[in-house]
Amino acid sequence: MAFSPSSVPGFFPLLIAIIVILQLQSYETQAGGLALPLRTQKLQSLSTPHPPSKLRFHRNVSLTVTIAVGTPPQNVTMVLDTGSELSWLLCDTGPLSQFRPRASSSYAPIPCSSPTCKSQTRDLPNLSSCDSATHNCHVSLTYADASTAEGTLVSDLFLVGGPPARRTNLRCQSSPSSAGDTTAAGMLGMNRGSLSFVAQTKTSRFSYCISDRDAGVLLLGPSNIVPLNYTPLVQISLPLPYFDRVAYSVQLETIRVGAKTLPIPKSVLLPDHTGAGQTMVDSGTQFSFLLGQAYEILKDEFLRQTSGVLNPEKGYVFQGAFDTCFRATQLAAAAAVRRIPAVVLGFQGAEVAGGGGGGGGVLHRVEGERRGNNEGVWCFTFGNSDLVPMEAYVIGHHHQQNIWVEYDLENSRVGFAPVQCDLASRKLGVML
């Protein structure tokens, strides 16, 4: 998930996202990037051998990538998270574990004396200690649901695409973190912190595009696929209790439903003096979240514009934060979608549209919920941060569908462009 307990107090995760599986073939782009194609595939297929550089994904629990770690390489499935820093792996813990440290000659625990063990990063804010028995660095995190995740700080070689392999620090733990995907073998931290995978491998730019067919492409390096509209990263130098300084934080300026710009006071969309209210672009969260005041204004306008189109399912709350839900048959929902307005998030220099032909839908069918007359339950894909609770706006990957999203660390900005992902992928030689 994109949030650490230090940046979002009280947060508990929504375990919904996308599965991505790395295969053995990669595509070098003219701009020098590495294109990794994505395909729909079930998690059970992870044991099937694939070439190590092609990515496939399937909607399941988390956005994960299977990469090669260790010497000789071992394929491991890790959550791809642009909101987390220190990567972690399950090590020798039964059926979920895919990494065997003793089988890797390049595996190395980090000693207590290492400067890395003593570093103060987002994921290691006074949370590292020394294991008196092994004299290795020990890391422990406590999450908002009172669960803990702990393990040894280690390093090993990561092979992405092709040689050379890159030595990376991570946490080797004995049990899954409840703040992440319990079906994954680990998590790959992709934020801007000093211990993130992108920082350790000196990756200055990466991007992806997710189609509405659950297929797409992940690109490491420069893209130059489509002209992008960039918005600058919001950077605050002072440490604030609710502001994550290494997240991909942008400034949300407007929200539009159809043609109507919502009357949300500017102050509601700005981080306050504590840092609460930042807006994060996050691959580790499926849906999007707004702080309560902005959410209520959006909800009221969405209900107004869809009155007579959708039948509200009163009293139902999905995943503890999505309280704008409806009931409809599959046929009625499909007809309604064509009449539902897009929700557009506006930033300085860029915007992201969801639904109404934009990137990603504004309704999600809740699996397993059935009502009379063969009706299902459908929920608005924007949630109320106050119900979680967390002190942030979050743009999840569901609202990034058919949008090329680029994380440009070198120039401190995030780029967006609406595209048809299957067509854009062909420019890289990748067929979806």
Are residues 188 and 235 located together in one domain of the fold?
no
- Say if residues 88 and 46 touch (Cβ distance below 8 Å): no
Task: Classify burial at 373, counting beta carbons within 10 Å of its beta carbon; exposed 0-12, middle 13-18, buried 19 or more.
Answer: exposed
Is residue 331 a part of any domain in this protein?
A: yes
Is residue 216 a part of any domain in this protein?
A: no
Rounded Cα–Cα distance for residues 343 and 352 (Å): 8
Contacts of 390 (CB under 8 A, 6+ apart): 3, 8, 9, 10, 11, 289
Residue 111 has a pLDDT of 94
Are residues 163 and 240 located together in one domain of the fold?
no
Cα first-last separation, the chain: 26
Residue 174 has a pLDDT of 77
Are residues 109 and 188 located together in one domain of the fold?
yes
What's the longest Cα–Cα distance across the chain?
Answer: 67
Residue 177 has a pLDDT of 54
Are residues 254 and 395 located together in one domain of the fold?
yes
- The CA angle 376-379-381, to the nearest 5 degrees, is 145
Which CATH number belongs to the domain containing residue 32 in this structure?
2.40.70.10
Is residue 25 a part of any domain in this protein?
A: yes
Are residues 190 and 260 located together in one domain of the fold?
no
Task: Classify burial at 61, counting beta carbons within 10 Å of its beta carbon; exposed 0-12, middle 13-18, buried 19 or more.
Answer: buried
Are residues 409 and 293 located together in one domain of the fold?
yes
Is residue 194 a part of any domain in this protein?
A: yes
Write out the DSSP string of 198-218.
HHHTT--EEEEEE-TTS-EEE
Rounded Cα–Cα distance for residues 223 and 205 (Å): 9
Residue 325 has a pLDDT of 95
Q: Which of 188, 203, 218 is the last residue in one of the domains?
A: 203
Residue 354 has a pLDDT of 76
Please list the rounded mean pLDDT of every run of 10 residues in the chain (432 residues).
38 31 43 52 28 31 72 86 88 74 95 81 65 88 57 91 85 66 71 91 89 74 89 92 93 96 97 95 89 97 92 92 93 87 95 66 90 91 91 90 92 94 77 66
Are residues 76 and 141 located together in one domain of the fold?
yes
The residue annotated as part of the active site, out of 123, 181, 214, 282, is 282
The residue annotated as part of the active site, out of 81, 214, 323, 408, is 81
Task: Classify burial at 345, counting beta carbons within 10 Å of its beta carbon; exposed 0-12, middle 13-18, buried 19 or more.
Answer: buried
Contacts of 257 (CB under 8 A, 6+ apart): 298, 301, 302, 305, 341, 342, 343, 344
To which residue do tokens 């509200």 refer?
312
Rounded Cα–Cα distance for residues 64 and 21 (Å): 7
To which residue do tokens 């309704």 refer?
363
Write out the DSSP string of 371-391.
EGGGEEEEEESEEEGGGTT-S
Smallest CA-to-CA distance from 404 within 356, 359, 348 is with 359
Q: Indicate the pairing of strand 216-220 with strand 108-109.
A: unpaired
Number of domains comprising the chain = 2
Smallest CA-to-CA distance from 297 within 250, 270, 261 is with 261
Edge-to-edge strands, sheet with 260-261: 260-261, 252-257, 343-347, 350-354
Residue 94 has a pLDDT of 64
- Does the active-site annotation cover 92? no
Structural domain that includes position 111: 18-203
What single DSSP character describes residue 39?
-
Are residues 413 and 271 located together in one domain of the fold?
yes
Are residues 84 and 183 located together in one domain of the fold?
yes
Residue 422 has a pLDDT of 80
- Per the DSSP assignment, residues forming a β-bridge with 169 are 155
What single DSSP character describes residue 299?
H
- Does the active-site annotation cover 408? no
Residue 373 has a pLDDT of 83
